[in-house]
Structure 1
């Protein structure tokens, strides 16, 4: 039984080593991030703005249409 406990301790690093490994992995992933150019940022911002406007128009139409339908059904 004592050998199994020692093997588990050897396989599982302590909490500070795990935190250090986690931070190292975060830094390694952040090095892979590519910053967009100004032109790309402007293009994507415009695309998101248009998408939000279309979504707002869709939700407004659904709200108006369902409101009219409810008034028609329940008067």
Structure 2
């Protein structure tokens, strides 16, 4: 099959899929942003706690 036809089909299918998407409302966007921020902050706190805890444990054992 011709490469140019394959690229053309890909571009056409991509444009068709983009027409199907729905733009979120401002309220939806704010909710998702808050949810993701809380999730990332929670993970950061967990990793920081594990890092400090395990670091202290290593210093206690090998210190």
TM-score calculated relative to the size of structure 1: 0.80
C-alpha separation between the residues in 2 aligned to 1:42 and 1:62?
A: 30
Following superposition, the deviation at residue 28 of structure 1 comes to 1.0
Following superposition, the deviation at residue 25 of structure 1 comes to 0.8
Bigger Rg, which one? 1
Aligned residues: 63
Which segments of 5 or more consecutive residues in structure 2 lack a partner in the other structure?
none
Following superposition, the deviation at residue 70 of structure 1 comes to 0.4
Which segments of 5 or more consecutive residues in structure 1 lack a partner in the other structure?
1-12
Residue in structure 2 matched with residue 33 of structure 1 by the alignment: 21
TM-score calculated relative to the size of structure 2: 0.94
